[in-house]
Amino acid sequence: MLKIGLLGVGAIGRTIAKAIDEKQINARLVGLSDQEPALARDLSATLASRPPVVALEEMIDMSDVAVEAASQAALAEFVPKALARGRDMLIMSVGGLLGHEDWFRQAEEKGCKIYVPSGAIAGLDGIKSASVGKIEAAELTSRKPVAALRGSKYVVDRGIQLESLTEETVIFEGPAEQAARAFPATSNVAASLRLAVEPTSPVCVRIVAVPDGSENVHEIRVRGEFGRLWVRVENVPSKSNPRTSQLAAFAAIATLKNLTQALRVGT
Ligand SMILES: NC(=O)c1ccc[n+]([C@@H]2O[C@H](COP(=O)([O-])OP(=O)(O)OC[C@H]3O[C@@H](n4cnc5c(N)ncnc54)[C@H](O)[C@@H]3O)[C@@H](O)[C@H]2O)c1
């Protein structure tokens, strides 16, 4: 049975852990790790399998697939340690992968896989197919409730007064790489789109603050040799973390299910 270890027991980590515990995934949760071990112990106590709470290295050693659901900052430690052990990994803090193409090369050399779930967006299957041909333009517009943007470094640094907005306002427009750096907690989808298309095709991102908004809405438009594609996802936020869409955890679960099932549907 597939052995899964988990770094990060927040909104996404807890949902993944429960799915494994409820046998939605044919796998065993072998270890939990978090910078706040007390949170991991609390989670473990709610699970039938009572996975041990261990240090990061130990968790990776125990796993066939090490799952990261922590933060972009955590990747700097997590990925090199998983690579050193030739471990497959699933990454949720996708923005932290941008600028680290050396990690992809090392994974090739080590023969290990880096899984990036579709997260809070849809359409990456079609976009990957489209990328086999020429892509002329790829755009992502993310509409976010003010609550999901509050406290973001970009917002604070620029003194953007979110509370005084009275209508939808574009607060960021630029390349996906910049969006992922500017909004590390909320623009992982921009990074996933960036990774899905060829590096030579630009990916433009717009972030719109929505006063009184309650959902994270992502719209993707791609134009290319294949034709045109438009995808819109209206995401319900996680109850425990308004920055995180419920779909993101479901995407991680679907990716892990894919690893254990004979039938794979979609690109
Ligand atoms: N790919 C996507 O579409 C997508 C969507 C939503 C969220 N995310 C990302 O997934 C990650 C997890 O999201 P979440 O909503 O569960 O977050 P969360 O804040 O609810 O939980 C994160 C957990 O990880 C732990 N953690 C954070 N940094 C750590 C570190 N350096 N070492 C060890 N533990 C650490 C925290 O203590 C916390 O328990 C975030 O980076 C988030 O931005 C990705």
Note the pLDDT of residue 184. Answer: 86
CA angle 162–167–168, rounded 5-degree value: 80
Expressed in angstroms and rounded, the spacing between residue 111 Cα and the centre of ligand 1 is 26
Find residue 59's DSSP bridge partners.
none
Could you tell me the pTM of the whole model?
0.96
Helix 37-46 vs helix 11-21: angle between axes, to the nearest 10 degrees? 30
In short, whether 6's Cβ falls inside 6 Å of ligand 1 is no
Using 50 as the pLDDT threshold, list the residues of the chain that sit under it: none
Residue 218 catalytic? Answer: yes
pLDDT one-digit tens code per residue, 230-251: 999 999 998 888 888 999 999 9
pLDDT one-digit tens code per residue, 38-49: 999 999 999 999
Give the CA radius of gyration of the chain.
18
In short, whether 68's Cβ falls inside 6 Å of ligand 1 is no
Q: Closest ligand 1 atom, CA of 8?
A: 24
